[in-house]
Amino acid sequence: MKDQFKVLIIGAGTGGLCLAHGLKKAGIQVEVYERDRTRTGGLQGYRVGISPDGSRALKECLPSELFDIFVATCARAPKFFNMLTERYSEVLSLELETGHDPVNEEKSVSRMTLRQVLLTGLEDIVHFDKKFTRYEQNEDGTVTAFFEDGTSASGNLLVGADGSNSPVRKQLLPHAKLEETGIISIGGKLPITEETKSLLTHKVFNGITMIMAPKAYGCILHAMEFKWDHGGVKNGIGGNDAELLSRWPGLLYDNTRDYIMWGFWASRRSFPANPLEIKDGEQLKRMVLGMTESWDPKLRKMFSLSDPTTIFTVNIRTSVPIEPWPTSSVTLLGDAIHTMTPGRGIGANTALRDAASLCRKLIEARGGGKSLIQALREYETEMIKYGFEAVIDSRKQMDDNTVMHKPVVGRIALACMRTGMRMVNHLPPLKKKMAANLSHSRGANRESSD
Ligand SMILES: Cc1cc2nc3c(=O)[nH]c(=O)nc-3n(C[C@H](O)[C@H](O)[C@H](O)COP(=O)(O)OP(=O)(O)OC[C@H]3O[C@@H](n4cnc5c(N)ncnc54)[C@H](O)[C@@H]3O)c2cc1C
C-alpha cells in the first residue's frame, strides 16, 4: 500500500508530540488535539529524567536543530547516583557517565521545558482546547474523533496519547484497569540560593539522590540548574547553546528557573490524613515535616523552605497488564496504555520509545511495504511486551505490599539492603560495574531505541 494517510493524535504530551514530530518530518499528515486551553496550561514543572533510550527516540523523531535545543534546555546532567539514609549518611554513591555525547548521557529536564521544546515547530498542527470525548470507526475504514466543543475530525488512524486517564483507552479497551499501589507522594520545589545550596552536599547537589528510610518512607532529590535565568541566557554559556537558546521561541513561554526538587513518598496508611484531599501547600508541607521528625535537620529545612505553591501530591497508580487485543484503526501509546510508577524513571522514556517505534512502522506502511493494520499490529505486539515489562518492573519499586512495608521484617530488610550497599560502596570495581549496569539498563551505548 503506497499511500498517504492522516493520523489524529489525542494528547499533546511527551509521547504524542514526539510522534507528531516524527510524522511531520516524514511528510505524513498529522493533527494533534489537546484538552489544555493554551500552550502554557496544565503542567507542573517537575523533573523528568531522560535516559539514553529516551534521547535516542527524540533524536530519531525531532528535526536535528530541535534535538539540539532539547539538549541545550536540559538542566546540568547528574554526575552521581546517591543512596542516603534519612540521617544524611551515604550508603552508596555511583559516578554516572557524563561527557559530551548528547544521546548516551542521562539527562534532567523540567517537564514544562520539555513540553515547550516539543511544541516548537508544531504550531500549525497542535489544536488546543479540544477535549476528546469519543470516537467512531467508519465503514470506509476511517475513524472520527469527537470533541467536547461539538467539533469532530476524521483520519485513517487515531492514536490515544492522552495519558493515564485516557478516554481513548476507556472506549477501546474498557477492561483495561489502573490499580492503586497504596503509595502517595508529596513533592515540592525551592529556588537555588546560597542558603538552599548549603543544605546539600557536593554529591547531592550534583546528582540524583534517593533516601530510603524506615517505615518504607522514601525521598528523591534533584538540583536543577539551567542555562538561563530571569535575565535570559546566563553569562558564560558558550557559543552554540547560547545561540540556540536565544533563537528558541519556547523560552518566552517557559518560567522554569533553577530549583531543588524533592519528592517524599510513603504508604497511604502512614499519613495522618489523606494528602490527596488537601489542596493547601503549607498543610502538605507540615505533614511531611511531621512524618520526618527523626530526619536530618538539613533535609527538614529543605522541606520547610519550599514554596507552598509548588507542592503537589501524586496518587501512585499502575496499569494492570492485559492480553493483546485485535488491531484496528485506533491505537494507544505512553501512559494511556502502560501507566507505571515513577519508581524506575521510565514512564516518559517508554512513551518516547513508543512514539519512535510507531513512527517507524507508519513510515514503512506509507512506503508500501505493509498495510496500515499490519504496521500497527507489529507496533502493538512489541509495545505491549516492553511496555508491560516496564510496568511490572516499576511496580516492584513502589508498592505498599512489598516486604519493606512490613513492620519488623521491613526494618530488617532495610538494614540488610544498606549493609550490602555500603559494602559495594567500598569496592570501586564493583561500584564501577554497578554504574555501568545502571546506564546500560537505561539504554546507554545501544544502537537503536528498539
Ligand atoms: C512526579 C513524577 C515524576 C516523573 N519522573 C519521570 C522520570 O524521571 N522519567 C520518566 O521517564 N518518567 C517520569 N514520569 C512519568 C512521565 O511523566 C509520564 O510517563 C509521561 O509524561 C507520559 O507521557 P504521555 O505522553 O503518555 O502522557 P502525558 O505526558 O501525560 O500527556 C497526555 C496529554 O493528553 C492530554 N489529554 C488528556 N485527556 C485528554 C482529552 N480528553 N482530550 C485531549 N487531550 C487530553 C493531557 O492534557 C496531556 O497533555 C514522572 C511522573 C511523575 C508524576
The answer to whether residue 332 scores a pLDDT higher than 60 is: yes
Residue 335 alpha carbon to ligand 1 centre in Å: 6
Which atom of ligand 1 is nearest the CA belonging to 147? Answer: 42
208 neighbors 81 (Cβ within 8 angstroms): yes
Span 260-303, pLDDT tens digits: 999 999 999 999 999 999 999 999 999 999 999 999 999 999 99
Residue 375 alpha carbon to ligand 1 centre in Å: 25
Span 369-413, pLDDT tens digits: 899 999 999 999 999 999 999 999 999 988 888 888 888 899 999
The answer to whether residue 322 scores a pLDDT higher than 70 is: yes
162 neighbors 11 (Cβ within 8 angstroms): yes
Pocket probe for ligand 1: among 9, 14, 111, 317, the residue whose CB has the most ligand atoms within 8 Å is 14
pLDDT band, residue 448 (cuts 50/70/90): low
The answer to whether residue 321 scores a pLDDT higher than 60 is: yes
Residue 316 alpha carbon to ligand 1 centre in Å: 13
189 neighbors 260 (Cβ within 8 angstroms): yes
Residue 11 alpha carbon to ligand 1 centre in Å: 9
pLDDT band, residue 367 (cuts 50/70/90): confident
Distance CA 403, CA 422 (A): 20
Percent residues over pLDDT 90 in the chain: 77
Residue 11 in contact with ligand 1 by CB distance below 6 A: yes
Which pLDDT score is estimated for 3? 62
- Tell me whether residue 348 is exposed, middle or buried, using C-beta atoms within 10 angstroms of its C-beta: 0 to 12, 13 to 18, 19 or more: buried
Task: Give CA separation, 144 vs 194, 362, 373, 447, in Å.
Answer: 55, 19, 17, 37
Distance CA 51, CA 264 (A): 22
The answer to whether residue 98 scores a pLDDT higher than 90 is: no
Residue among 113, 132, 174 at smallest CA distance from 325: 174
For the chain, give every domain's residue range. 6-441
CATH tag, 6-441:
3.50.50.60
Residue 423 alpha carbon to ligand 1 centre in Å: 37
Which pLDDT score is estimated for 392? 95
Element (H or E) spanning 387, and its range?
A: helix 372-397
Sequence-distant (6+) residues with CB within 8 A of 189 are: 45, 46, 259, 260, 261, 262, 306, 307, 310
Which pLDDT score is estimated for 134? 98
Span 194-211, pLDDT tens digits: 999 999 999 999 999 999
Distance CA 327, CA 381 (A): 10
Mean pLDDT score, 421-447? 86
**360: its cell numbers:** 517507524
79 neighbors 205 (Cβ within 8 angstroms): no
- If one counts every other C-beta atom within 10 angstroms of the C-beta of residue 129, the result is 14
Q: State the maximum Cα–Cα separation within the chain, in Å, rounded to a whole number.
A: 66
Which pLDDT score is estimated for 449? 52
Which atom of ligand 1 is nearest the CA belonging to 14? Answer: 25
Which pLDDT score is estimated for 1? 44
- If one counts every other C-beta atom within 10 angstroms of the C-beta of residue 309, the result is 10
Distance CA 159, CA 34 (A): 12
Distance CA 230, CA 256 (A): 9
Sequence-distant (6+) residues with CB within 8 A of 198 are: none
Residue 347 in contact with ligand 1 by CB distance below 6 A: yes
Model's pTM, two decimal places?
Answer: 0.94
Average pLDDT, the chain: 92
Mean pLDDT score, 116-135? 96
Question: Which residue, judged by its Cα, is nearest atom 29 of ligand 1?
Answer: 13
Pocket probe for ligand 1: among 116, 149, 186, 335, the residue whose CB has the most ligand atoms within 8 Å is 335
Which atom of ligand 1 is nearest the CA belonging to 185? Answer: 1
**378: its cell numbers:** 507489529
Residue 10 in contact with ligand 1 by CB distance below 6 A: yes
Least reliable range by pLDDT among 102-116, 146-160, 161-175: 102-116
85 neighbors 209 (Cβ within 8 angstroms): no
Pairing relationship of beta strands 152-155 and 143-147 according to DSSP bridges: antiparallel
Kindly report the three-state secondary structure assignment for every residue of 240-261: HHHHHHHHCHHHHHCCCCCEEE
Span 217-271, pLDDT tens digits: 999 999 999 988 888 888 888 778 888 888 888 888 887 889 999 999 999 999 9
